[in-house]
Amino acid sequence: MTQRMVYVLKIVQFITKMDEMGGAQVHVKHLSMYLKKSGHEVTLLSGSETPIFSELQQSGVIYRKVPHLIRDIRVLKDIKALMEMRRILKEIQPDLLAVHSSKAGLLGRLAGWSLGIPTIFTAHGWAFTEGVPHKKRIFYSLLEKIAGIVSAGIITVSNYDCQLAIQNKIISPEKIKVIHNGVLDITKLKQVSQNKKQIQLIMIARFAEPKNHQVLVEVLSRLDTQDWNIRFVGEGPLKKEIELEVKEKNLSNKVIFLGNRDDIPEMLACSQIFILTSDWEGLPLSIIEAMRSGLPVIASNVGGVEELVQDGKTGFLIEKGNKKELMEKIKFLMENAELRNEMGLSGRKRYIEHFTFEKMAHETLAFYQTIINQKQS
């Protein structure tokens, strides 16, 4: 029997920022470490310093900063960042460049194309999705069409985003691969004592426009029971505004702001209901983490969320911004412990079957290899 040869690939991962660990950043971190563990040479590029530098270093992933790369559009800085990318890529000479997030996605694909390096963009939710203001949707759709011309392939994290790309003619359908997000399973969890008298709610999300913490705070202020509290996990530009709103609504004794945490599994383990009130999404890792932890989920039915949450079975899907529906579902789950348990178990089972990190990583590497083979043939 002939033994199949395994080739060591040089792979560069590129994302705009790694200073705040949101869903895309967690994805890139774990995927980079997996690729390295699989025997490949991996370099991670970003426009910021990162709190996980030593963790990446220990795993063998090389981390380098692209000094002029920022989130906002600044023409001179963007040109400098593009030149820096070209210089770094010339030095590394990778087999493949994998880019993530809007700014790195555009500049990375231009740099890769100019040097003949096959480049794949992973869309962690499109910037022209439903819910984004109309003018922004037109602008970002145009940018993605330009970037699509120089893309070897695109990974979308949901069927919803795949269809959105096809409808907007971003790239040829045969160049799109749907690979659902996945998260690592919990191996060992600390035992956390719980207050049995209170229902513990939790929302894990950046304090930013799409997440709409405001609608949840408004609903919580109207609850006619006091047997609850909620933990908000995350940072972001709107955090101070939400803290002020919580204070104005006299909820300071019910709402806990935890900032960024590295003990998400423990936070979920001492919670009973997970909530996500986003106005737009890709395929939220936070929901997959909640399902992994056996929590029922209440979430806005936007983006690829319905591909995660089975309405009435693993949680409830609600119309975005619908305060009445959100309140009804929160109260209903608070009052039904048995249903919470059943939904949580169903969610855990769904995670195991469809949304493990290993499944996602295996499919991603296979797609990388397909694109590299196409370039070489």
Specify the pLDDT at position 4: 47
Candidates 104, 132, 122, 71; CA nearest to 281 is 132
Taking the C-alpha atoms of residue 145 and residue 102, their distance in angstroms, rounded to an integer, is 12
Say yes or no to pLDDT of 58 above 90: yes
Residue 191 falls within a domain, yes or no? no
pLDDT at 196: 62
What's residue 377's pLDDT? 73
Mean pLDDT along residues 1-30: 83
Look at residue 1 in the predicted model and tell me its pLDDT.
Answer: 41
Total number of domains in the chain: 2
Residue entry with tokens 């794949």: 120
In the prediction, which pLDDT does 71 show?
A: 87
Rounded to an integer, the average pLDDT of 260-289 is 94
Shared-domain flag, residues 157 and 62: yes
Q: Quick one: pLDDT at residue 188?
A: 60
- Give the DSSP letter string of 120-156: EEEESS-TTSTTS-HHHHHHHHHHHHHHHHT-SEEEE
Chain segment 66-100, per-residue pLDDT in tens: 999 998 888 999 999 999 999 999 999 999 999 99
Q: Which of 237, 220, 340 is nearest to 290 (CA)?
A: 340
Same domain, 33 and 178: yes
| Domain of residue 217, residue span | 199-354
pTM, two decimal places = 0.90
SS3 222: coil
Answer whether residue 65 shows pLDDT above 90.
yes
**Is the predicted pLDDT of residue 132 greater than 60, yes or no?**
yes
Based on the fold, state whether residues 306 and 171 are members of the same structural domain.
no
pLDDT score of 320: 96
Q: How confident is the model at residue 6 (pLDDT cuts 50, 70, 90)?
A: low
The verdict on residue 215 lying in a domain is yes
Answer whether residue 189 is part of any domain. Answer: no
According to the model, what pLDDT value does residue 2 have? 44
Same-domain status, 132 and 263: no
How many residues comprise the chain? Answer: 377
| The pLDDT value given to residue 3 | 45
Q: How far apart are CA 262 and CA 273, in angstroms?
A: 20
Which amino acid appears at position 19 of this protein? D
Is residue 375's pLDDT more than 80?
yes
Q: What is the CA radius of gyration of the chain?
A: 21
Mean pLDDT of the 329-339 span = 97
Position 189 scores a pLDDT of: 56
pLDDT tens figures, 239-269: 999 999 999 999 999 999 999 998 999 999 9
> Does residue 235 share a domain with residue 130?
no
156: which 2 tokens? 């979308």
Specify the amino acid at residue 163. Answer: Q
Answer yes or no: is 4 within a domain. no
> What are the pLDDT digits (tens) for 191-222?
444 556 789 999 999 999 899 999 999 999 99
Average pLDDT, the chain: 93
* CATH code (residue 292): 3.40.50.2000
